[in-house]
Structures are given as C-alpha cells and as structure tokens.
Amino acid sequence: MAVVVDANLLVVLVTRDPRRPQVAARFEAWSHEGESLHAPELMPYEVANAVAGLLATGTRIDLEDLEEVWRAIRRVPVTLHRLGDGLRRCGSHSNSSAEASMTPPT
C-alpha cells in the first residue's frame, strides 16, 4: 500500500510542534506496516516555504536548528512524483482523474 504525505506532516515531524508525538507515531506505524511514502515533486518547496514562515515568526524553529531540520526532513523516505498533466486533469472535475495526474509508483 502507499501513503501520500502532505508537506505539513514533515514540518510537524521535525519541529517543536505540539502535534509532533502523534505525527511521529503515525510515521512509525506506516513504517511498521510497510507502507511506502509518496508526494508530488513540489513537496520540498512546500516544506521550505513552511519552514521559512516558521523562521520568520520565530515559531517552533530557530535559525541555528535549520540545518538539522532540513537533514531530518531529507531522511524521511518519501518518493517524489512528477505532476504530469495535473492542471488539465484537475479541471476535469473528477477526483479519480485528479489523483491519476501523478505518475504511479514504480
């Protein structure tokens, strides 16, 4: 089975977010269950944007923690997928078509 991971979960996982224990437990369960993790290829940019926002507000991350935060994010085994023709498919008003816009896992 495969799990599509939202960038915000990774940010919560590696910062001082109060939801971290629950998210860490979910990632641990996925690992134990043999789930493969997947995300669109834009995920690193989404994570960088969220981390930059946290840095700007001084919330849950300090500048001196940035390198370790980024290393921790990169250690999470997420397979990134090309978006393909996702924009065209999203306009089709069909959930199954929008989901099919990512290249399937190999």
pLDDT (tens digit per residue) in 68-98: 889 999 999 999 998 876 556 555 544 443 4
pLDDT of residue 66: 85
9 is a domain residue: yes
Strand partners, 79: 38
Q: Which helix (H) or strand (E) holds 78?
A: strand 78-81
Overall domain count for the chain: 1
57 is a domain residue: yes
Q: What is the pTM of this model?
A: 0.72
- Could you give phi then psi for residue 11, rounded to 5 degrees? -65, -45
106 is a domain residue: no
77 is a domain residue: yes
- Find the DSSP H helices in 1-106: 7-14, 20-32, 43-57, 66-75, 86-90, 95-99
**Could you tell me the CATH number of the domain that includes residue 6?**
3.40.50.1010
Please tell me the distance from the alpha carbon of residue 90 to that of residue 98, in angstroms, as a whole number: 5
pLDDT of residue 101: 39
pLDDT of residue 83: 83
pLDDT (tens digit per residue) in 8-56: 999 999 998 999 999 999 999 999 999 999 999 999 999 999 999 998 8
Range of the domain at 48: 2-99
